[in-house]
Homo-oligomer: A and B are copies of this chain.
């Protein structure tokens, strides 16, 4: 590829360009390793000392650093260098990709009763069942499965070996990473008199809004009677489990290994940290941040940051403190008794 001039970049993505607009950069690199043909960015204060040393051809800098230039003399000042980096990374990515070619691999099994846009691309060993709709610009990867009557919106990307169960619906520009499963059966059983589980047929679907991304090997169950609903712009990392009838508001992000139990409702613009567990039938307000590995066992009604995780310690210290945690209730009682005795000392006159 021939790269981009700084002028081209600033013309499309904005920012205040200082230095040589004709300078060409071939790709993005981290500030520590970038060289003359690279553009880099500075978004972490920790990395600030590297600015004086970087050999990068150009640096994207926050407006607060206006006037400070890297060695190359080339900088673009912008309100949010990380956001600028995101947009620029997509541009470079597209430059390096072959143009999207619609078509169907000859091995793909597409039911004649499926409606597949001629502008979609279907790779080897994909299976598309009857009644499914595949919109223009969709890319169905190798070995993917799209069940009957499922709907895949325009511009979606299904990476190899991901699957969408019958009737489920993806909005525009959704991305499924490899191994993601949309529309597995929810975990619903009644117990009969003997205690054996009797399966509840799961007849709802899973509905993903526009611009949802689902990580590798993550799972989103279909609803039991109603639907599981994932809002516009929700981002889901790898190995996340979303149970039946969950509802997640717009632009919420869930980090890796999160588990959300049935019928939980999560608001918009939340951030759920890695490994968090969310119990069923509760609700979380908009704008809530949950720290990693916490259990959310009751509703969270106010925005803000919440955490619940045992602090790490050396095993020896942990063992002693953990033993004491199990006696904590008694410790509290002992403190209360001490306080009462002290109080009695204060009120009774000394003999």
Interface residue ranges, A against B (CB under 8 Å): 27-30, 33, 80, 82-83, 85-87, 89-90, 92-93, 96, 105, 107, 109, 123-125, 127, 141-143, 145, 147, 159-161, 163, 165, 175, 177-179, 181, 184-185, 187-192, 195-201, 203, 211, 213, 215-219, 221, 225-226, 233, 235, 237-239, 241, 243, 251, 253, 255-257, 259, 261, 269, 274-275, 277, 279, 289-298, 300, 304-315, 317-329, 331-332, 334-335, 338-339, 341-342, 345, 350-351
Chain B residues whose CB sits within 8 angstroms of the CB of A195 once the complex forms: 251, 269
Residue in B215, B253, B293, B296 whose beta carbon sits within 8 Å of that of A184 in the complex: B215
Residue in B92, B189, B203 whose beta carbon sits within 8 Å of that of A235 in the complex: B189
5 contacts between A and B (CB under 8 A): A105-B109, A179-B219, A295-B312, A304-B314, A306-B312
Whether the Cβ atoms of A310 and B309 lie closer than 8 Å is yes
Whether the Cβ atoms of B256 and A275 lie closer than 8 Å is no
**Whose C-beta in chain B lies nearest to the C-beta of A235?**
B197
How many subunits of this chain does the assembly comprise? 3
Chain B residues whose CB sits within 8 angstroms of the CB of A213 once the complex forms: 197, 199
Chain B residues whose CB sits within 8 angstroms of the CB of A269 once the complex forms: 195
Whether the Cβ atoms of B328 and A325 lie closer than 8 Å is yes
Whether the Cβ atoms of B142 and A127 lie closer than 8 Å is yes
**Whose C-beta in chain B lies nearest to the C-beta of A321?**
B328
Q: Knowing A292-B279, A295-B275, A307-B315 touch, does A184 contact B334 (C-beta < 8 A)?
A: no
Chain B residues whose CB sits within 8 angstroms of the CB of A187 once the complex forms: 215, 235, 237-238, 253, 255-256
A219 and B162 CA atoms in complex are apart in Å by 13
Count chain B CB atoms within 10 A of each CB in A238, A255, A323 and give the residue with the most.
A238
Chain B residues whose CB sits within 8 angstroms of the CB of A225 once the complex forms: 28-30
